[in-house]
Structure 1
Amino acid sequence: MVQSQRKPNLRESLNLSKLALAYPWLTLCLWLIVAVAGIFAYSSLKYALFPDITFPVVIVQAETSLQTTLATEQQLTTILEQPLQSLTGLDQLNSVTYPGRSIITHLFYPGQNLASVQQEVEAKLTEVSLPPDTDVKVIPFNLNESTVVSYGITSQSKSLTELIPIVQTQMIPTIKSIPGVLRVDLLGDLSSQELNQSSETSLPNHSFPSLVHLNGDNALAIAVVKRSDANTLEVVKQVQAAIATIQPSLKDIQITLAATQADYIREATQATIEALWGAIVLAVVVIFGCLRNWAATIITALAIPISLLGTFIIMAIAGFNLETITLLALALTIGIVVDDAIVDVENIVRYLEAGSQPRQAVTEATQEIGFTVSVTTLTIVAVFLPVAFMGGTVGQFFKPFGLTVAAAVITSLLVARTLSPVLALYWLRSKNNRGNNHGDFNSKLISYYRRLLQWSLQHRKTVIAIALITMVAGLGLIPLVPKGFIPQLDRGEFNIIYTTPLPKLDQIPQQQETEANTSNQAETNQNFAWLQQLAQSPARILLNKTLRVGKEIEQVTLADPEVQSVFTVAGLQGKPNQGKLYVKLNPNRTLTTAEIQAQLRNKLPTIPGVQISIEDIPFVDIESKQNLQIALAGDDLKALTQTAKQLQKKVETLPGFADITLSNESENIDSLTKIERRNGQRVVFFNANLSQGKTIGDATEELEEIAKPLLPQGVTLQLSGDAALSSDVLGSFAETLIFAIACMLLLLILLFGRLLEPIVVALCLPLALIGAMLALLFTQNDFGMIAVIGTIFLVGLLDKNAILLMDYINQLRQTGLTRTEAILKTGIVRLRPIIMTTGSTVLGMLPIALGWGAGAELRQPMAVTIIGGLITSTLLSLIVVPVVYTLLEDFWVQRVHQKRS
């Protein structure tokens, strides 16, 4: 008795439509205000490629008079590392030790305050006891402080030496004064600043001595670095305006755009917005095709822009941008927004078709469906809110996603429950005595579905067996689907990073004579002397050598007809033996970026001692970022290096691995010029790029299998870079998915007041798996971060269909119908809205799934997953949900009867 009273009260409390219909003009005015405010909010949102995330990094640089790498490691590096490993929010602690120098890099979890972590580092350093002559510097910087645009500066009448003061006085001050600009680095100026650290030091670039080439010509360059909280497109726009103002006053000086992030960001966001519009148009087409009623179609379609405008208000308040992740969220919610409106409006139309007058139809239809729509929408919020509060890097990355989805879903619920009924009251009219106006196709479809449903209820074991086979098949497909992290983007730009060999000891000019000594100690002393002298003339010799190598690579690259421009810098972040070529491809190229990279690898010259790596543009501003990185960790450096070389030898013969490098190739511990450590352990890094379509997940699994038999005792394999992120992402999302499902089921228990419906939903969730995996396998999209998002979305959509069926079954049974009669009638009544919502979502995802436009690789896996999973889950749930519902109820009744007897 208590339960029968509770449900109507709850259903009544969730019926916002009753209040909206009582005050229709107030409802319309409120939504008009939301729409206007949403337009202003939209105009305030900025475009970006990814969410604004702070990547705090603190470097501790310590120098002392110790003359060997081993002694420096023992007496300086390890002493510094011990207290620093306990820092709050520390993600990774890396160190590089040279003779007399330690450089410890602290990578903190994103989103933390840089000033706070710097203070904590400085406080920890007061606890350590170091050699008396040690000089320690703490250098904070934010990886989000990225170079957003670079310009090459050349002149036919002036030398580079003559250009330097002009650039320093007439260009840099103007650009530096632009809001959002952190600094302007001058490149190509050998005298800009003396090199005061070793050739391997990784520090932020502050105009270190460098040499520049632009499309084969010597040049100067300026690199504009934005502040961490500045918007890339806005900064670049203002810099371009400043350059246009400066250029007329600099006669005989050419200022050429060399590199920028802005073009791709603009193209990618525009492509996503176009896909979003395509989704809206196709969704509306489906609605009209099913309802054949212009007024009902317009009412349903209006829910989309109104819901989006309401979401823009929340996004503006939260400080989000219109970037890949939030735009994906908006594209994703089109299906949900349409679903809510479709279910409400379709139910009203159904009552009108039965002959009810408009007010009666709207009142009764919204009362009947209001509880269902509210429950399904709230469960989707329960599914996606945990995504917004995931921890670590992934959590920071997807916080805007989860909150944007939640905001859009709640807004769409309010629109469907208030605005849509009011508009229906004014615009829709009764269609009494018109009979079935949906055509023979719908009649035949309903008749076929009724027979199939009736057969299924009579053959429940067969249906369950088919469902189980389908679920097992879906699980079996998972190992066959390529696994990745973030898909490789066809950006039309990439980097070529190269490293020239360091000079041999007898080639290095010595300031003082050293006694001929072949002992290891003497050799180490010479290495130390070389490191000290590298800041002087040898550094400049190395820069010239590095530029010459860059020219060789540049000539081959520019000869490729698909290449538009090449911007070469010799001397990266204080490393005179390292250079970078930024390669910009022609916009009308016939090949993808990956295909051009593969061709170029075969064309580039083999230069003795030179390591060349063709790399994608990294998501954060770091000079070098190979796809795959693993660390061999242990105490024995000789064993680490030997194992790394064995692994390199085996992997070099395998397809899909390219540009393989090791961070340390010296097995003689006494002559080491550097020792690398990671989280307190010695390491040697194995780095490689991936080609021929090999994904990070598959490559990592293959590499681990090869490495296992090679690992001696005391040596372990640790994932790093994208390999570690890929593993963390899948693990984090698995935990989040379980938590999201638990939240959803708990909410269903609270709303339905019993366990039957939540258990049916839980048992039917795997039905989406077979379609999702088949779709990914067929299209060869990675099952990675973006596809997992689509999988979470499928959970919410399948949940909506199941609740839509079960709630109406329960309502009909309360009117006196038998269970079978209620199920069959529910099937007939709910078939149309389920097909409409599925069709509109599938077609809405189609523009994204087709992979058109810049950045399509990021969007496509999500859409493919949703389309495949939604088709199979809808077809199966229309049959399996009623069957499982009856089986569980029979089991429940039987158990109760057994207990009573």
Structure 2
Amino acid sequence: MFLSDLSVDRPVLVSMALFVFIVFGVLAYFSMPLNLMPDVKIPYVVVQSVYPGAGPSEVETQVTKKIEDAIATVSLIDYIQSYSLENVSIVMVAFKIQKNVDIANQEIKDKIDAIIRDLPSDLQKPIVQKMDINAIPFMDIILSGNLDGKALYELADTKLKDRFGQIEGVAQVDLSGGNKRQIQVQLNDQTVFQNKISLAQLMQILAAQNMDMPAGNFQRGTQEYSVRLKGKFESLDEIANANIPTPTGIKKLRDLANVIDGAEDVRTRAIYFDVPKKVLDQNIVHISLTNASDANVVTISDEVRKNLPEIEEDLPAGVSLNIVRDTSDFIKSTVSDTFTNIWLGILFTGLILLIFLHDLRSTLIVALSMPISIISTFVFMQIAGFSFNMMTLIGISTSVGILVSNSVVVIENIFRHRDEGMPVRNAAKRGAAEIAVAVLASTLTNVVVFLPVATMGSLVGQFFREFAYTVTIATIFSLVTSFTVTPMLASRILTGKEKKNKFGIAFDNLFDKFEASYKKFLGTVLSSKKHSRNIIIISVILVVGSLALMPVIGLEFIPEIDQGEMSITVELPEGYNLDQTADVLEIVHQRLANHKEIEHIITNLGSSGFVNTGTNLASARIKLVDRADRKKSAKQLAEIFSKELADVPNAKIIVSAGSSAMGQVMGMEFYLQGQDNARLEQLKNQITELIKDTPGLMNLDTSSRGGRPELTIIPKRDQMSAVNATVYD
């Protein structure tokens, strides 16, 4: 065979060729990114529309329904999911895998632009953007110190948000907690009545006096100047001294109202609870970093940690930044553990080969095929844009046994010719050439099993694509290695005759006894049709019995991974304010404080995910201690916490293993569809009553909410006209 002959006759040439792949493979090993799972692209587009002052029913009929009808004709839509909330409409469009997300985004924009005149005039322009469902916060940072909530928020909003956003790969920086600064102009009824002040006009006057704007340019001689009007207020005194026209003349704003440097009404709040130390800190700002869709979490995390000391140097005295959650730690440890298992697999495979071959030289020849094939595979993984993740590493682990089998077959045939008296050099050539077709056929059977998996166009295909390609590449390299490295080394380091040691003789004797027993067993089975028929029947029973166990074992797409994180969402009755919600979360903290498995809890009051916001809602992320330091898994702890928190009064609490910024990820979802919302609500209540006691069911929830009480003001137009007032006033 050409390859084996070339390897034996030109060992330096072949060695240099393989050395190129090994060198670039090592470089790829140190430069390839780390991920937990392959980067799966699911085309999602989200349309977000803000309709100030509108309730959910108005948002649904006047905004959401019109947008749904307009975009329904776009091609390759899988499904449309919409949320009509107070003041906001969110329409999420999921496309089929083969849809280009950039084209989909543009098509949705065109459809929205076509109906923009049919939407309410007060509606803010709908925002259409691509959505990465995997883009969830990868790092949580706590800003705390001896400043008040307003100063902490201003520091985070004006300085830290920009600093973190400038780090390459950070797509979004979210803040929660603290108090946003707000300049308040407070008037009393008597002053308004005496001076006949229109609040609407007062707002317009202050807005007109508080603006910066360009004013063009002019030339003076040969010099050209740009002109800019700088009219924004820069201090409280400037605002208080603003001139306000009234029917009785020009007056200063300070004479009409109190100008206060205050804060917005608190609608969200963040709490950090250090469970081992029993320390609860409510004066914090929670900073969440989200990675870009094409960025690597581990690389960004390293960059954030590298820049953090420099950022902390610019903070005021007594203020600190602490990283309390970093998903890259789990990714690093998972990849490291998997690599350790791969190298251990290679080591143990080599030991097994040594036991059976009982010759160090033969073992070395065969065992070298594994690291050479694996390291060379890294080159093509990098070219294909793969990362080290669970699927690619599982692919490498799967191929370890395949990698060595080809070389074992080749070396055994070389041994046979050597033992027959042929010179080692000729035995290496003849042995490799004789079984070339058999080894090639054996390798291609493995390739045709895995390669079709990589070509699947479904979501499952995207997950397993990197796995299948990795196994295929490693298997092909094992074929090349068996026809190059194995005969080349055999011709150089094998001796003329095999020298058996004591261990080899003892092992061969033991194996000969096993061989004799197996031969006797086969003779008994094949001696009569009855015995053969019994063996076939037993085999069929075992196969059928194994298939029958599948429903008992269960089926799932991806096994649950204990990442050491949990999430809790809390929903209270409509109308609860933030303080009442905080009181309920204090009960939750007290009950969870007794569990040593918890490291800390970060709680966000005022929201429970990407969509749901309100003062009656809260969400918490629980960081658990390392898996080696606790006996229970995250899933087991979720069941325990659910039972312990089930009797918290007036609270609907959902506990789940894992963490997701998109809200809770449920194992099963179904839709109740119809045209009559009132009837749907009745059916929803009936169905939830029927299924809530199903064994094994946890975290039963529905997407519809009743809404909070609403006050409707109907103007008395006759009386308004008598005092020269308008609905706008």
Per-residue Cα deviation, 1:832-885 (whole angstroms, up to 9, x for no partner): xxxxxxxxxxxxxxxxxxxxxxxxxxxxxxxxxxxxxxxxxxxxxxxxxxxxxx
Q: Does 1:570 align with 2:594?
A: no
User: C-alpha displacement at 1:483, in angstroms?
Assistant: 2.1
Distance 2:448 2:564 in 1: 39
Would you say the 8 A contact 2:634–2:657 is kept in 1? no
User: C-alpha displacement at 1:665, in angstroms?
Assistant: 6.3
Per-residue Cα deviation, 1:588-617 (whole angstroms, up to 9, x for no partner): 223222232222222226344422111222
Instruction: Identify the range of structure 1 (403-412 vs 391-400) with the bigger mean alpha-carbon deviation.
Output: 391-400
User: C-alpha displacement at 1:548, in angstroms?
Assistant: 3.4
Would you say the 8 A contact 1:144–1:621 is kept in 2? no
Per-residue Cα deviation, 1:567-604 (whole angstroms, up to 9, x for no partner): 11113346123321111122222322223222222222
Equivalent residue, structure 2, for 1:651: 691
Equivalent residue, structure 2, for 1:751: none
Distance 2:435 2:640 in 1: 59
Distance 2:182 2:369 in 1: 60
Classify 1:472/1:561 alpha carbon distance in 2 versus 1 (closer, same or farther; 3 Å).
closer
Which residue identity is paired with 1:143? I
User: C-alpha displacement at 1:394, in angstroms?
Assistant: 1.8
Per-residue Cα deviation, 1:45-64 (whole angstroms, up to 9, x for no partner): 11111112334432223567
User: C-alpha displacement at 1:253, in angstroms?
Assistant: 1.2
Q: Unmatched 5+ residue regions in structure 2?
A: 184-265, 274-279, 711-729
Distance 1:432 1:145 in 2: 60
Equivalent residue, structure 1, for 2:564: 492
Distance 2:684 2:346 in 1: 53
Per-residue Cα deviation, 1:502-523 (whole angstroms, up to 9, x for no partner): 22xxxxxxxxxxxxxxxxxxxx
Which residue identity is paired with 1:502? E
Would you say the 8 A contact 2:564–2:658 is kept in 1? no
Classify 1:78/1:392 alpha carbon distance in 2 versus 1 (closer, same or farther; 3 Å).
farther
Classify 1:191/1:129 alpha carbon distance in 2 versus 1 (closer, same or farther; 3 Å).
closer
Which residue identity is paired with 1:659? N
Equivalent residue, structure 2, for 1:470: 542
Per-residue Cα deviation, 1:533-555 (whole angstroms, up to 9, x for no partner): xxxxxxxx844443333333223
Task: Specify which of 507, 511, 518 is matched with residue 449 of structure 1.
Answer: 518
Q: Does 1:584 align with 2:653?
A: no
Task: Specify which of 349, 360, 375 is matched with residue 415 of structure 2.
Answer: 349
Q: How does 1:805-884 map to 2 (within 5 A)?
A: none
Which residue identity is paired with 1:427? I
Distance 1:317 1:85 in 2: 39
Q: Find the residue that maps to 2:368 and give its secondary structure.
A: helix
Task: Specify which of 436, 440, 455 is matched with residue 509 of structure 2.
Answer: 440
Equivalent residue, structure 1, for 2:105: 118
Equivalent residue, structure 2, for 1:512: none
Q: Find the residue that maps to 2:474 and give its secondary structure.
A: helix
Share of identical aligned residues, percent?
A: 26
Equivalent residue, structure 2, for 1:217: 281
Distance 1:345 1:21 in 2: 14
Would you say the 8 A contact 2:562–2:658 is kept in 1? no
User: C-alpha displacement at 1:170, in angstroms?
Assistant: 4.1
Hey, which of these two has a bigger chunk of helix by percent?
A: 1
Distance 2:349 2:685 in 1: 56
Per-residue Cα deviation, 1:398-435 (whole angstroms, up to 9, x for no partner): 21111111111111111112111111111122336979
Per-residue Cα deviation, 1:623-663 (whole angstroms, up to 9, x for no partner): 32233323233445455444443443343333322222222
Classify 1:176/1:71 alpha carbon distance in 2 versus 1 (closer, same or farther; 3 Å).
closer
The alignment covers a number of residue pairs equal to 605
Would you say the 8 A contact 2:562–2:634 is kept in 1? yes
Distance 1:595 1:133 in 2: 49
Distance 1:434 1:271 in 2: 38
User: C-alpha displacement at 1:97, in angstroms?
Assistant: 3.4
Task: Specify which of 359, 364, 374 is matched with residue 425 of structure 2.
Answer: 359
Q: How does 1:131-146 map to 2 (within 5 A)?
A: 131=118, 133=120, 135=123, 136-140=125-129, 141-146=131-136
Which residue identity is paired with 1:145? A
RMSD: 3.2
Distance 2:73 2:9 in 1: 61
Task: Specify which of 345, 355, 377 is matched with residue 289 of structure 1.
Answer: 355
Which residue identity is paired with 1:151? I
Equivalent residue, structure 2, for 1:329: 395
Equivalent residue, structure 1, for 2:299: 234
Equivalent residue, structure 2, for 1:417: 483
Per-residue Cα deviation, 1:216-267 (whole angstroms, up to 9, x for no partner): 2111121112111111111111112222223344321132223221221122
Which residue identity is paired with 1:133? P
Distance 2:600 2:58 in 1: 47
Q: How does 1:501-900 map to 2 (within 5 A)?
A: 501-503=573-575, 542-572=577-607, 573=610, 575-576=613-614, 577-587=616-626, 588-604=629-645, 606-618=647-659, 621-664=661-704
Greater Rg by CA:
2
Equivalent residue, structure 2, for 1:376: 442
Distance 2:53 2:142 in 1: 42
Distance 1:293 1:171 in 2: 63
Distance 1:348 1:209 in 2: 78
User: C-alpha displacement at 1:343, in angstroms?
Assistant: 2.0
Would you say the 8 A contact 1:193–1:209 is kept in 2? no
Distance 1:188 1:67 in 2: 26
* TM-score normalized by the length of structure 2: 0.76
Equivalent residue, structure 2, for 1:766: none
Per-residue Cα deviation, 1:703-755 (whole angstroms, up to 9, x for no partner): xxxxxxxxxxxxxxxxxxxxxxxxxxxxxxxxxxxxxxxxxxxxxxxxxxxxx
Hey, which of these two has a bigger chunk of strand by percent?
A: 2
Q: Unmatched 5+ residue regions in structure 1?
A: 1-11, 195-207, 504-540, 672-901
Distance 1:380 1:192 in 2: 65
Classify 1:109/1:277 alpha carbon distance in 2 versus 1 (closer, same or farther; 3 Å).
farther
Classify 1:478/1:169 alpha carbon distance in 2 versus 1 (closer, same or farther; 3 Å).
closer
Would you say the 8 A contact 1:153–1:254 is kept in 2? yes
Would you say the 8 A contact 2:656–2:664 is kept in 1? yes
Equivalent residue, structure 2, for 1:247: 312
Equivalent residue, structure 2, for 1:153: 143
Which residue identity is paired with 1:212? A
Would you say the 8 A contact 1:554–1:581 is kept in 2? no
Distance 2:82 2:653 in 1: 24
User: C-alpha displacement at 1:129, in angstroms?
Assistant: 8.4
Would you say the 8 A contact 1:300–1:342 is kept in 2? yes
User: C-alpha displacement at 1:392, in angstroms?
Assistant: 2.6
Distance 2:118 2:392 in 1: 51
RCO comparison, higher one (Cα < 8 Å, 6+): 1
Task: Specify which of 13, 22, 25 is matched with residue 26 of structure 1.
Answer: 13
Which residue identity is paired with 1:223? S
* TM-score normalized by the length of structure 1: 0.62
Would you say the 8 A contact 2:572–2:650 is kept in 1? yes
Distance 2:491 2:182 in 1: 74
Would you say the 8 A contact 1:146–1:226 is kept in 2? yes
User: C-alpha displacement at 1:459, in angstroms?
Assistant: 4.6
Equivalent residue, structure 2, for 1:298: 364
Distance 1:350 1:607 in 2: 77
Which residue identity is paired with 2:21? V
Task: Specify which of 155, 172, 175 is matched with residue 166 of structure 1.
Answer: 155
Classify 1:249/1:500 alpha carbon distance in 2 versus 1 (closer, same or farther; 3 Å).
same
Q: Find the residue that maps to 2:290 and give its secondary structure.
A: strand
Distance 2:582 2:589 in 1: 10
Classify 1:609/1:415 alpha carbon distance in 2 versus 1 (closer, same or farther; 3 Å).
same
